[in-house]
Amino acid sequence: MPLGRYHVIHNRRILQNMIRKLKSGEYRLYSRKKNSKTGKRRNLGTFSSKEKAEAHERAVQYFKRH
Predicted confidence (pLDDT) per residue in 2-27, tens digit: 555 555 555 565 555 689 999 999 99
Domain ranges of the chain: 5-65
Does the predicted model carry a pTM greater than 0.75? no
Answer whether residue 39 shows pLDDT above 90: yes
Q: Return the exposure string of 14-52: e unless at least 16 CB atoms fall within 10 Å of the residue's CB, then b.
A: ebeebbeeeeeeebbbbeeeeeeeeeebeebeebeeeee
Q: Which whole number is the average pLDDT over 49-66?
A: 90
Between 17 and 46, the more confident residue is 46
